[in-house]
Structure 1
Amino acid sequence: MFSMELILAAFGGGVFGALIGALPAFIFTGFVGLIGVAVLASGGAGTILGDVVFGTLLGPHIAFAGGVAAAAYAANKKNYLASGGDILTPLKKTNDVSVILVGGIFGILGYIINGFYASMALPTDTVAMTVFTSGIIARFAFGQTGLFGKYSAQSEVAATTELGKRSFVPDSKSFAFIALYSFGLGLVISYLVDLTQINVLGFCISAALLIFAQMGFDMPATHHITLIAGYAAIATGNIFIGAIFAVISGILCEVAALTFNSYSDTHIDPPATAIFILSFIIFIFI
Structure 2
Amino acid sequence: MSDILLQVPILDMPWEDFALLFITALAGGAFGAALGALPAFIFTGFVVFLGEGINILQTEIEGVAPGIGANELGAGITGVIGFGAITGPHIAFAGGVAASAYAGKKYPEMEPDGWDYHFGKNILYAFGTKPDILAVGAIFGALGMLITRFANELIVIDGTAATDFVAVSVFATAFIARPVFGYPIVGKPSGSGYLDMSPFEREEPRAAADGGEVPLEHQGRLATEPWLPHQYRWSGVTAIGLIGGILGGYIYIQTGSIFMGYAISAMSLLFLNLGVEKIPVTHHITLIGAVGAVVFLPEYSPVIALLAAGVFGAFSGLLGELTQRLFYSHSGTHVDPPAMAIAIAMLFVALLSVAGILPNAGYL
Asked if TM exceeds 0.5, the reply is yes
Pick from 86, 94, 115: which aligns with 2:149? 115
Pick from 321, 324, 328: which aligns with 1:254? 321
Q: CA deviation at 1:160?
A: 4.9
Hey, what's the Cα distance between the residues in 1 that align with 2:328 and 2:182?
Answer: 12
| In the alignment, structure 1 residue 147 sits paired with structure 2 residue 185 | yes
Aligned to 2:345: 278
Hey, what's the Cα distance between the residues in 2 that align with 1:118 and 1:71?
Answer: 27
Q: CA deviation at 1:46?
A: 3.0
Hey, what's the Cα distance between the residues in 1 that align with 2:89 and 2:200?
Answer: 34
Identity, % of aligned positions: 37
Aligned to 2:254: 195
Hey, what's the Cα distance between the residues in 2 that align with 1:55 and 1:47?
Answer: 9
Residue identity opposite 2:254 in structure 1:
L
For structure 2, the residue ranges without an aligned partner over 5 or more in a row are 1-10, 59-72, 112-117, 192-196, 205-222, 298-304, 353-357, 359-364
Residue identity opposite 2:173 in structure 1:
S
Q: Kindly provide the CA deviation profile for residues 259-283 of structure 1, in whole angstroms up to 9, marking residues without a partner as x.
A: 1111311110000000000011112
| In the alignment, structure 1 residue 33 sits paired with structure 2 residue 40 | no
Aligned to 2:107: 78
The correspondence of residues 206-221 of structure 1 with structure 2, limited to 5 A, is: 206-218=265-277, 219-221=279-281
| In the alignment, structure 1 residue 96 sits paired with structure 2 residue 155 | no
Pick from 221, 229, 235: which aligns with 2:289? 229
Residue identity opposite 1:30 in structure 2:
G
Residue identity opposite 1:102 in structure 2:
V
Conservation of the 8 A alpha-carbon contact between 1:132 and 1:272:
yes
Q: CA deviation at 1:96?
A: 2.8
Q: State which structure, 1 or 2, has the greater radius of gyration over its C-alpha atoms.
A: 2
Aligned to 2:164: 125
Conservation of the 8 A alpha-carbon contact between 2:91 and 2:140:
yes
The correspondence of residues 34-53 of structure 1 with structure 2, limited to 5 A, is: 34-43=49-58, 44-53=73-82
Q: Kindly provide the CA deviation profile for residues 173-214 of structure 1, in whole angstroms up to 9, marking residues without a partner as x.
A: 922222112112211220221222211111100000000110
3-state SS of 1:150 partner: coil
Conservation of the 8 A alpha-carbon contact between 1:29 and 1:58:
yes
Q: CA deviation at 1:239?
A: 1.6
Residue identity opposite 1:281 in structure 2:
F
Conservation of the 8 A alpha-carbon contact between 1:10 and 1:104:
yes
Conservation of the 8 A alpha-carbon contact between 1:72 and 1:143:
no
Hey, what's the Cα distance between the residues in 2 that align with 1:163 and 1:25?
Answer: 31
Hey, what's the Cα distance between the residues in 2 that align with 1:160 and 1:265?
Answer: 15
Aligned to 1:8: 23
Q: Kindly provide the CA deviation profile for residues 137-186 of structure 1, in whole angstroms up to 9, marking residues without a partner as x.
A: 11121142x22223356xxx975545969799x9xx92222211211221
For structure 1, the residue ranges without an aligned partner over 5 or more in a row are none
TM-score, normalised to structure 1's length? 0.90
Q: Which has the higher helix share?
A: 1
Please identify, of 174-183 and 102-111, the stretch whose mean Cα deviation from structure 2 is larger.
174-183
Hey, what's the Cα distance between the residues in 2 that align with 1:39 and 1:163?
Answer: 48
Change (3 A) 1:282 1:17: same
Conservation of the 8 A alpha-carbon contact between 2:200 and 2:224:
no
3-state SS of 2:39 partner: helix
Aligned to 2:218: none
Hey, what's the Cα distance between the residues in 2 that align with 1:246 and 1:60?
Answer: 20
Hey, what's the Cα distance between the residues in 1 that align with 2:273 and 2:339?
Answer: 19
Aligned to 2:88: 59
Hey, what's the Cα distance between the residues in 1 that align with 2:199 and 2:32?
Answer: 35
Change (3 A) 1:29 1:167: closer
TM-score, normalised to structure 2's length? 0.72
Conservation of the 8 A alpha-carbon contact between 1:143 and 1:266:
no
Count how many residue pairs are aligned between Structure 1 and Structure 2. Answer: 280
Change (3 A) 1:74 1:236: same
